[in-house]
Chains A and B, each alone.
Chain A
Amino acid sequence: MVEQLAQQFRALDGAEVELTDPKATASHLDVLVPAAKLRELTQIVRDAEFLIESVSAVDATPQMMTIYHFSHPDRFCRVTARVLIDRESPSCPTIQDIFPGANWHERETDDFFGIDFEGHPDKTPLILPEDAGNLNPLLKEGKRLKELGAVFPRFATPEPEAEPEKPATEPESEG
C-alpha cells in the first residue's frame, strides 16, 4: 500500500516523496508537494479511503509551510503532506471540498497564521473574534522567527557555514 501510494505521489509534477520510519515520525510517507498539486494529492489520499487528521502550519523564513496529516482507518499508514508557501502573501489551495473536515482546520489556520485558503467558502474567523483583524497569534517575529532549515533538516542550505547570520540556538530560560 505504501509503495503504491508513493508511486502515485511521485507521478505528481514536482512532488518530493520520502519514505520515513513510522517508529520515529509516526508517518510512512512524507511528501513535499507544490501548492498547485496539493488537491491532486488530496484526491489520491481520499480515493485510498484515508481519513483526515489535521491541517496546520509552521511559520519560518524564507517560507511558511502548511502540513497535512492523513491516516488510514483499517491499517497503520499515515501520510504527511507539506506545502511551502510564500510568507509575504501566504495562500494555499483549499481541500475542504475533498475532505470537509478540513474546513474548520483551514479556518483555524487562517486565524492563526493569516493564510488565505483559495476557494474556501467561509473565510470568517472560527476561533478568534470577528474584530481581531490581522492578529495572527502564531506568526513569529524577530529572533523567534527561525530559518526553515533550522527546524526541518531537509531544507537546510548545503553550506550552512558560509552564512554569517545563521540563527544560533538561543538559550531559553527554564519555565
Chain B
Amino acid sequence: MIPNPDPTQETLVLNMGPQHPSTHGVLRIVLKMDGEYVLEAEPILGYGHRMHEKMGEVRNHKGFYANVGRMDYGGALSFGHGHVLGVERLSSIEVPERAEYIRVLTTELNRVASHLLWFGAYLLDLGAFTPILYAFDDREFILDLLEHLTGARITFSYFRIGGVCCDVDDKFLDGAKIFVKRMRERLPMYHKLVTGNIIFRKRAEDVGIVTRDMALKYGATGPVIRGCGIDYDIRKTEPYSVYPDFDFDIPTDDKGDCMSRYKVRMEEIEQSLRIIEQAIEKLPEGPVMGEKVPKKIKSSGDCYMAVEAARGELGYYLACDGTDTPYRMKIRSPSYSNLSLLKELTSGILLSDLVSVMGSLDLVIPEIDR
C-alpha cells in the first residue's frame, strides 16, 4: 500500500494526514515526492468508515432516517432527499406538493451553507484566514434557520417517507427571505475580497485541470464536471421532485482548473438563492405528509435514485425483497468518485498545488468513508 521508494532515486515518501488540516477529516494521502514535486499521491481511505450500507440492510426504511444526516456534514439534507425519494419510488408513495416544495427549499438552503463552508475552508487551505470568518457568519444564519425548523444544525433527519416531519412557519419563511436579500448583498463583497485577488488567482488558475474525458472515465460529478464545460446536473438532466417548476441555470466553466470549480460553486450559490426565492413565492397550501403512508413500508424490486447533492451526483441503489427493510442498499457518494481522480490529476505538480486541488474538489470525508 505504501509505495516503495527506489533508494537509488532521490524520492521521499511523505505521509499527509490522517490528521492534516487540509484533508478536512481523517483522510491519509501517501505522497511520493521529488523535492517539492508530487510524483504520486495515493489516497488511503477507511479511517472513519461506519458501514452505513450494512446499517441500511438491518434496519427498516424509517430506521435509516438517522443515518442520512451522518454521511455528509456539509449538505446532509440532500442525502435525506435521495433516500426518501428512492423509497417512495420503489413503494409508489405519493408526496403532497407542499412537502416537496419544503424539501427543495431546505435542501437549497443547505446547499448554500455547504458551499459557504467549502468557500471558507478552501481559502483557509490556501492561507487566507479572513474569508472563512465572513462565510461562517452567513452560514450561521442558515443553520439557525434550519435549527428553528428541523431541530438540528448539521445532522438533519427532517424528511420522512411521504413528506416532511413538520410544516414551515412564518418565522422560517421570513428568515429565508431576509437571508436571500442578505446573501445577495454579501456575494459581491466575496468576489471583491477573493475572486480577483492576485495571490488566489495564482494558486487556482491553470492548476489541476480536469478534462471532459477524465471526468467521464472517473465518474466525477457536481462542480468538478461542470467546471470542465459539461452541464451535467441531475436537477436538470434527470429532473426529480419539483425542480422542473423552477427557473434556474446550471453554471459551467470551460477551463477545468481550480478556478473554474471555484467560479461554478460561487455562481451556484446565486442559482440556489433563485430557487429559494421562487419556492417561497410559489409555496402551495396543503398537508406536508401524505395520508396514505403505511406504518410498515413494504417494497419490492430494485431501483436507482439519483439526486444532485452539494458535491455532485448522489445515488441510492435499493433492492428490496418485499419486507420493510432493504435487501441491499448501495450509496454512491459524489466525493468518492471525485477523489478517485486525484492520483492522475496531481502527478507532477507542486505539493502546494495539491492542497489547492484537494480544496477545489470539496471533499467531505465521512461521505467517502460511508
User: Do A and B originate from a single complex?
Assistant: yes
Chain A residues within 8 Å of B, Cβ to Cβ? 22, 24-27, 46, 49-54, 56, 58-59, 67, 69, 71, 73-76, 78, 80, 98-101, 103-104, 112, 124-130, 137-138, 146, 150-153, 169-172, 174-175
**Complex Cα–Cα for A103 and B230 (A):** 23
Among the stretches B57-65, B170-178, B278-286, B354-362, the one at the interface with A is B57-65
Whether A73 pairs with B313 at a CB distance below 8 angstroms is: no
Task: Please tell me the size bucket of the interface on B.
Answer: 35 or more
Looking at the assembled complex, report how far the CB atom of A105 sits from the nearest CB atom of chain B, in whole angstroms: 8
Nearest B-chain residue to A126, judged by Cβ: B45
**Complex Cα–Cα for A75 and B231 (A):** 10
B219 within 8 A of A: yes
Main secondary structure of the interface of A (DSSP, over half): loop
Whether A172 pairs with B323 at a CB distance below 8 angstroms is: yes
Whether A25 pairs with B54 at a CB distance below 8 angstroms is: no
Whether A26 pairs with B305 at a CB distance below 8 angstroms is: yes
**Complex Cα–Cα for A52 and B217 (A):** 6
Whether B327 pairs with A58 at a CB distance below 8 angstroms is: yes
**Complex Cα–Cα for A74 and B230 (A):** 7
What 1/0 mask marks residues of chain B from 49 to 73 whose CB sits below 8 Å from any chain A CB? 1010110010110110000000000
Whether A151 pairs with B320 at a CB distance below 8 angstroms is: yes
What 1/0 mask marks residues of chain B from 19 to 52 whose CB sits below 8 Å from any chain A CB? 0000000000000000000000000011001010
**Complex Cα–Cα for A74 and B226 (A):** 11
Asked whether A80 and B304 contact (CB < 8 A) given A127-B49, A172-B60, the answer is yes
Nearest B-chain residue to A56, judged by Cβ: B330
Whether A24 pairs with B303 at a CB distance below 8 angstroms is: yes
Whether B301 pairs with A153 at a CB distance below 8 angstroms is: yes
B259 within 8 A of A: no
Whether B328 pairs with A58 at a CB distance below 8 angstroms is: yes
Whether A49 pairs with B340 at a CB distance below 8 angstroms is: no
Determine the chain A residues whose CB is within 8 A of the CB of B305 once the complex forms: 26
Looking at the assembled complex, report how far the CB atom of B198 sits from the nearest CB atom of chain A, in whole angstroms: 34
Determine the chain A residues whose CB is within 8 A of the CB of B46 once the complex forms: 125-129
Nearest B-chain residue to A152, judged by Cβ: B302
Looking at the assembled complex, report how far the CB atom of B42 sits from the nearest CB atom of chain A, in whole angstroms: 10
Determine the chain A residues whose CB is within 8 A of the CB of B298 once the complex forms: 169
Asked whether A101 and B219 contact (CB < 8 A) given A26-B238, A69-B315, A151-B302, the answer is yes
**Complex Cα–Cα for A93 and B194 (A):** 48
What 1/0 mask marks residues of chain B from 331 to 365 whose CB sits below 8 Å from any chain A CB? 01000110011001000000000000000000000
Whether A75 pairs with B237 at a CB distance below 8 angstroms is: yes
What 1/0 mask marks residues of chain B from 281 to 309 whose CB sits below 8 Å from any chain A CB? 00000000000000010101111111000
**Complex Cα–Cα for A170 and B1 (A):** 43
Whether B369 pairs with A146 at a CB distance below 8 angstroms is: no
Q: Can you show 13 pairs from A to B with CB atoms below 8 A apart?
A: A25-B304, A26-B89, A26-B305, A52-B218, A69-B315, A100-B217, A101-B340, A124-B1, A125-B46, A126-B46, A152-B319, A174-B60, A174-B62
Determine the chain B residues whose CB is within 8 A of the CB of A74 once the complex forms: 230, 232
Asked whether A175 and B328 contact (CB < 8 A) given A26-B303, A151-B321, the answer is no
Whether B317 pairs with A56 at a CB distance below 8 angstroms is: yes
Looking at the assembled complex, report how far the CB atom of B258 sits from the nearest CB atom of chain A, in whole angstroms: 20
Determine the chain A residues whose CB is within 8 A of the CB of B215 once the complex forms: 51, 73
**Complex Cα–Cα for A67 and B320 (A):** 15
Whether A73 pairs with B319 at a CB distance below 8 angstroms is: no
Most buried by A among B305, B319, B330: B330
Looking at the assembled complex, report how far the CB atom of A77 sits from the nearest CB atom of chain B, in whole angstroms: 9
With A52-B337, A58-B327, A112-B53 given, can you name 19 additional A-B contacts, CB distance below 8 Å? A49-B216, A51-B216, A56-B328, A74-B232, A75-B237, A76-B238, A99-B218, A104-B337, A126-B45, A126-B46, A127-B49, A137-B51, A138-B53, A146-B321, A150-B321, A151-B320, A151-B328, A152-B319, A169-B322
